[in-house]
Amino acid sequence: MSGWRAGIAATLLALTIWQVVVWTTGVARFILPPPVLVFETIWDDRALLAEHAAITMAEVLIGLALGAVLGFISAIGLASSSSTRALVKPILVFSQSIPVFTLAPILTLWLGFGLWSKITMALIIIYFPVTSSFFDALMRTNKDWIGMAHVMGATPWRIMWRIRVPSALPGFASGLRLAAVYAPIGAIIGEWVGASRGLGYLMLLANGRAKTDLMFAALIVLAILTILLHASVNKLCEKTLDRGFP
């Protein structure tokens, strides 16, 4: 049993446990709605959920694209100059000691209640994993390839572009895989702090009105979308960035 079969089995197991807990404890529906009710809500409110999910996914995808591009450029910048490294690396490491959640209110203040504060939140949360996994891969280039390139009369920039960057693409891909899972977290945090649309906003709203079934419905939709995003990014990386590597 492997792959999607195992996934379905695990999902069924989790749903069964959930249902059994509801049955045995007799817990109220506004505390923990049974899974059947949650799936009914997903179906009944599909238009509402789709509308908010589209907003969240737009934030996630734009954040992911921008974070990937910024991470790509930053890692090359860091890898190509030791003085940049000395200057910027401490800042990067320091920035990681700040809990990103605390930045959400200030981003809303600066960028408003629209998409950009959420996109920026997603970007900030994925920037470091993308940059650092690509950077590490760039610094691990086979020394003998670089020696060979020197013997052939290559300039540092061409060594970077022809050898170091292509050899580090699998590292960039693993950063992107992480980013696909983190980016939705960033967007949701942004929506919690201040938004009028999006799954995060919907969850907060449903929770406040004791519509726990809708809260769970939004949560499950978000989880499914995140899994689909991760799977698509994974597939895309396998077909492009990882090609030719053992």
Q: How far is the CB of 243 from other proteins (least distance, A)?
A: 7
- The answer to whether 42 and 99 are in contact (CB under 8 A) is no
Whichever of 40 and 242 has its CB closer to other proteins, that residue is: 242
Whichever of 3 and 246 has its CB closer to other proteins, that residue is: 246
Instruction: List, in order, residues 6 or more apart from 81 with CB less than 8 Å away.
Output: none
Roughly what angle, to the nearest 10 degrees, separates helices 115-139 and 82-96?
A: 130
- Cα–Cα distance, 26 to 29 (Å, whole number): 9
Biggest CA pair distance of the chain = 76
Q: How far is the CB of 55 from other proteins (least distance, A)?
A: 38
Whichever of 109 and 148 has its CB closer to other proteins, that residue is: 148
- The answer to whether 193 and 104 are in contact (CB under 8 A) is yes
Whichever of 43 and 161 has its CB closer to other proteins, that residue is: 161
Question: Contact positions toward other proteins, by CB under 8 A?
Answer: 142, 144-145, 147-155, 158-159, 162-163, 166-167, 169, 243-246
Q: How far is the CB of 147 from other proteins (least distance, A)?
A: 5
Q: How far is the CB of 237 from other proteins (least distance, A)?
A: 14
Q: How many helices (H) and strands (E) does the chain have?
A: 11, 0
